[in-house]
Homo-oligomer: A and B are copies of this chain.
Amino acid sequence: MLECNWRDGKWETTHIKPYGPIQVEPSCKVFHYGQAIFEGMKAYKDEAGDVFLFRPEDNWKRFNESAKRLAMPEVPYEVFVEGLKTLVNLDKEWVKYGEGLSLYLRPFMIASENGVAAAPSTEYKFMIVMSPAFAYYRGEVRVIIANQFSRAADGGVGYAKAAGNYAASFYPNNLAMEEGYQQIIWTDAASHEYIEEAGTMNIFVRIGDKLLTAPSNDRILNGVTRRSVIQMAKDHGIEVEERRIRVSEIKEAAQNGELKEIFGSGTAAVIVPIKGFKHEDFKYELPVIENDYATNIKAALMDIQYNRTEDKHGWRVKI
């Protein structure tokens, strides 16, 4: 693991050491005031044994956008990106070769000052931990489109990869799971009329041959996979619209047969096809179609990640 502490207004020396526990005081500010952000990334191995990161600068930039919104210090490129490269290089053997295998990387930062005064911490700890990851399959995914609970407010922290956003989603998600649904597609808190994201995934909707996704704003995480999916879709000649999507539009498309696919995008599974959804009393099962966007775009993205194809956008970074 990698560890770097921020004290007296600056980052100290970065240390790489074996994974192990850290000592913190019970008054450590992260426990009380929740300044905690993270990124999720993966390292991939190709047939020749070379190891690659995928768009690490994008994660670094977003990490620092999250840091700013949570009143935390920005982490330098050398610590975050070069740190990742050094760490992965040391543990290269843990990046396994094979379909869907990877090494999951978790850069994160927490407030580490001790004290219970409600104010931003004056000390922070940045760390990177890693874990081997298998091909991610969570079974069939059906979702509830939210009509009561919310994930984020206008002018809030929804766009940041902030720990508190996840904690806020667990209870509504548990209620959804009790009804037999695996995830929630969040809607805007003001009207619950427009879809936003799924908490751990951005959401794409295919109506006819057009691919729609909600625009990134201060409530919606601007996912690296989201942007990659949009680019891949365009590369495949698919028309993509980034715009607000009404729940009623999705339901109408379902009723008139124009709704072809809904899928989520994220680092963990790249793309997760949604098999069905529920909104209030309306339930719908997505059709099984051939040559679907989800499968094609996922394959195209994984070909880039695993160095099986040309990387014309310069997304792969060789370790």
Contacts and interface: CB of A to CB of B under 8 A. Distances in A.
Given A104-B116, A153-B189, A156-B189, A174 B19 contact: no
A108 interface: yes
Total copies of the chain: 2
Given A36-B32, A36-B167, A106-B32, A151 B162 contact: no
Contacts of A20: 25
A108 B31 contact: yes
Interface in A253-287: none
A86 interface: no
Contacts of A149: 155-156
A186 to B, nearest CB: 9
B167 A35 contact: yes
Interface in A151-173: 151-157, 162-168, 170-171, 173
Interface string A28-58: 0011111110101000000000000000000
A260 B167 CA distance: 40
Contacts of A23: 21-23
Interface residues of A, number: 62
Interface in A1-41: 1, 19-27, 30-36, 38, 40
Interface string A103-116: 01010101100001
A150 interface: yes
A190 interface: yes
A134 to B, nearest CB: 12
16 contacts: A1-B26, A26-B129, A31-B110, A33-B167, A34-B162, A34-B165, A34-B166, A116-B131, A148-B155, A150-B155, A153-B156, A153-B189, A155-B189, A157-B164, A162-B164, A164-B167
Interface of A: 1, 19-27, 30-36, 38, 40, 68-71, 104, 106, 108, 110-111, 116, 118-120, 127, 129, 131, 146, 148-157, 162-168, 170-171, 173-174, 189-190, 192, 199-200
